[in-house]
Structure 1
Amino acid sequence: MPDLKPVSTRSALLTLLLGAEVPRLTTRELVTAASVVGFAEPTVRVALSRMTAAGDVVRDDEGAYRLSDRLVVRQRRQEEAAHPSLRPWDGTWELVAVTTAGRTASDRADLRTALGELRLAELREGLWTRPANLDLAWPASVAEVCERFTGATPAADPAGLAARLWDLDAWATTARRLLDATATDDPVLRFTACATSGRHLLADPVLPPALLPDDWPGDALRASHVAYKQWIVDMRRSLTDRAG
């Protein structure tokens, strides 16, 4: 059985809000859903109060909660990770060169984060790349300091290059552990796997099949994650209707 780190009450509530099909959930909906996966009502109410104070969520006049603007961006990223926008791969690669010097350490760190979120990897200092098989939305922060090119593979062995740029074996091992956990009958373990897989999918490089090891579990983990999120939605609706 996979040994997964339990999620905190905050992480559990964020998972429910990030996966919700509506922009806001009432306290009753959050308490009801959280109780099914092992979180007691007093603990949930305390966590919601702390999350509001920390700016994770916003409480409206009717007592319902929605994600803060910062976490709406995270929600969008998780949706994109579960449903990546693919395009046919013709063997070409994206190349991004950092061309602006004199930036602060904070600016450099922010740029690295932005390029990583675009699923690029650093080929060498200041030069980032990935196969050109994704429709990427390039943020202004990247366009302002980088030049972008699309061209032939930067290596004679593209699959070998991919294996050097991304730790594919480690990602696949964790993904298979999460898939095993979602197949159990333990509701707490399944929920923990769902919350963890949402984060893990953000680190999937979403490479073309030709560059991946055999039996790559990326598509299976995405399908499992989406199906379980829908189960959470259906469960929450059913329990809330029954309680009301």
Structure 2
Amino acid sequence: MASTLLGSEPPRLPSRRLVQAGALFGLAEGTVRVALSRMVKAGELHNVDGSYELAGDLVSRQRRQRESLLGERRPWRGSWRLAVVVAEARSAGERLDLRRAMRTLRLAERREGVWARPDNLDPRRFGAERAVIDSQCEWYEAEVADDAALAGALWDLDGWAREAQALRERMDGLIGRLEDDDRRALAPGFVLAAGVLRHVQADPLLPSDLEPAGWPGSELRLDYDRYDGAFRSVLRGWFLEWE
């Protein structure tokens, strides 16, 4: 259910739409409604006048998803941002919160307690996550001798590129069915869309100077834009059948 709302703009749907989405995967209405109630109790959803909308960490997750699809970056002037842990006696919960915040702001851990990324993203975004980092770390600006080598040490760039290419091939294999209004493609199409969205969130959004040759980030996003349009068109038809 969360994936359905994460893919919606705004992230709010009537309960009947979520029941219909569950039916794509053979889920009974009662099963879907129980799952929704549990998510409300867990603080992941709000129930407002018979509709459900994202809440809590899922709101931040959708913002990160949106940022990931846009892929917007600032001009890079060659410097890096370092966040160094200085807080002492941190609880396990605080450590986990810090890791989540670092991932949201797309920093990677160079060694224990030292996180870094090129300074090419707007530092004002994700204020709540930035506050978590500020409460445990000090920030530094640095220049390094070999920017590309550091980027390669922080992120598995080859692995990300291989998976991106595999996702592009899978979308290419399904988009024809979606454009032909094949309702049987909705369930596998939904799973594939969720996989693409997870993967773009793992894109470090490096400066173009640091991207390996043939980096497929832009192509993956362009392919997904077309794929998403075809998928949503078929999904609207599916929903209309329930009216």
Aligned-partner Cα distance in 2 for 1:51–1:33: 12
Secondary structure of residue in 2 paired with 1:135: coil
Instruction: Indicate yes or no: 2:115 matched with 1:124.
Output: no
Per the alignment, residue 135 of structure 2 pairs with 144
Aligned-partner Cα distance in 1 for 2:168–2:132: 36
Q: How much does 1:150 deviate?
A: 2.3
* Selected match of 2:3 from 15, 20, 36: 15
Per the alignment, residue 5 of structure 1 pairs with none
Q: How much does 1:175 deviate?
A: 1.3
Greater shift after overlay, 15-24 or 42-51?
42-51
Q: How much does 1:80 deviate?
A: 1.5
* Selected match of 1:57 from 39, 45, 55: 45
Q: How much does 1:242 deviate?
A: 5.6
Q: How much does 1:44 deviate?
A: 5.3
Q: How much does 1:14 deviate?
A: 2.4
Letter in 2 for 1:112: R
Tell me if the contact between 2:165 and 2:216 (Cα under 8 Å) persists in the aligned partners.
yes
Letter in 2 for 1:17: L
Residue 223 to residue 52, structure 1, CA distance change in 2 (3 Å): farther
Q: How much does 1:172 deviate?
A: 1.2
Per the alignment, residue 77 of structure 2 pairs with 90
Q: How much does 1:82 deviate?
A: 1.3
Instruction: Indicate yes or no: 2:156 matched with 1:167.
Output: yes
Q: TM-score, normalised by structure 1?
A: 0.80
Letter in 2 for 1:206: L
Q: Which runs of 5+ in 2 are unaligned?
A: 178-184
Residue 157 to residue 176, structure 1, CA distance change in 2 (3 Å): same
Runs of 4+ in 1 over 6 A off after TM superposition: none
Secondary structure of residue in 2 paired with 1:25: strand
Letter in 1 for 2:161: A
Summarize deviations over 1:33-80 as a string: whole Å, max 9, x none. 555xx423x43551342232233434444x332223332222112111
Structure number with greater CO (CA < 8 Å, separation at least 6) is: 1
Secondary structure of residue in 1 paired with 2:115: strand
Q: TM-score, normalised by structure 2?
A: 0.81
Taking only aligned residues, the RMSD between alpha carbons, in angstroms, comes to 2.4
* Selected match of 2:95 from 100, 108, 120: 108
Aligned length: 226
Per the alignment, residue 43 of structure 1 pairs with 28
Per the alignment, residue 168 of structure 2 pairs with 179
Letter in 2 for 1:211: L
